[in-house]
Amino acid sequence: MPRTSTTAQQLKEHVFAVNSTRVSLIAVQIGQGRLLEATANIRRAISALQDSADPAEQELYGVTLRFSAQLLSDAGERLIAEIKLRESIEVFERVGDNASVQLAYSLSELACLCAAEGRFSEAHQQIVRAMNLLAASVAEASGIQLQSQFATAHPTIVRALKRYLTALRSRGETARLEEAKRTFDAFDAAVRRTE
């Protein structure tokens, strides 16, 4: 990765290129359990991107905030994680349609936190909003067949759904489970029609 970063620094859009490389490295470091390194790179990316007016750099900033929230949540710091997720959502909303998939992923992560805390109405609302955003992106891409299956293309939303449904089951929320089944079965059928 250092060679990639060196090459990125030489590009005209070096701030985006360097931080895009850094954000990719953060994902790898989290996946490998190298959390101290990931945390250091998160700090660097946030410092470099937070004040940027460039929409692409702001989108990277939002992704970095989501990674930060993931580490905080894993460490049991759910309140701070939620603050970071909500900030990432605000960033993606400002960026607009080009960040809709990233917005959906942050909404999915927020739904996971809400479900874990028993805030089922909010979890449901966030999942439905995320699914609607992703369905729109699938419909947009379907003309060129970029995505073949919703679940494989969007594992973040699938994970949020599983956590939400597991939380409902464990707390005996049968009415909410039935509502979720109706909502998400209808959604799944709509997505299949656009593929």
Query: Do 23 and 102 reside in the same domain of the chain?
Result: no
Query: Do 20 and 5 reside in the same domain of the chain?
Result: yes
Q: Are 109 and 160 in contact (CB under 8 A)?
A: yes
DSSP-assigned letter for residue 155: H
- pLDDT tens, the chain, 195 aa long: 555 445 545 545 677 888 888 989 999 999 999 999 999 999 999 999 999 999 999 999 999 999 999 999 999 999 999 999 999 999 999 999 889 989 999 999 999 999 999 999 999 999 989 888 887 776 555 443 333 345 445 677 777 777 888 888 888 888 888 887 777 776 665 555 544
* Listed residues 95, 115, 130: the one ending a domain: 95
Query: Do 105 and 184 reside in the same domain of the chain?
Result: yes
Query: Do 68 and 87 reside in the same domain of the chain?
Result: yes
Query: Of 70, 139, 53, 51, which Cα lies nearest the Cα of 100?
Result: 139
* Listed residues 63, 95, 127: the one ending a domain: 95
Domain hosting 47: range is 1-95
Within its chain, how far is the Cα of 69 from the centroid? 10
C-alpha 91/C-alpha 69 separation (Å) is: 14
Within its chain, how far is the Cα of 30 from the centroid? 15
In the chain the first and final C-alpha atoms are separated, in Å, by 36
Query: Do 56 and 106 reside in the same domain of the chain?
Result: no
Query: Do 104 and 195 reside in the same domain of the chain?
Result: yes
Neighbours of 149 (CB within 10 A): 11
Query: Do 120 and 195 reside in the same domain of the chain?
Result: yes
Tokens of 150: 């919703």
Q: Are 111 and 128 in contact (CB under 8 A)?
A: no
* Listed residues 49, 64, 95: the one ending a domain: 95
Query: Do 87 and 100 reside in the same domain of the chain?
Result: no
Neighbours of 88 (CB within 10 A): 28
pTM of this structure:
0.79
Query: Do 139 and 176 reside in the same domain of the chain?
Result: yes
Query: Do 165 and 75 reside in the same domain of the chain?
Result: no
Query: Of 36, 4, 37, which Cα lies nearest the Cα of 21?
Result: 4
Query: Do 59 and 110 reside in the same domain of the chain?
Result: no
Number of domains within the chain:
2
C-alpha 167/C-alpha 118 separation (Å) is: 7
Query: Do 128 and 151 reside in the same domain of the chain?
Result: yes
Sign of the CA dihedral running 63, 152, 195, 186: negative
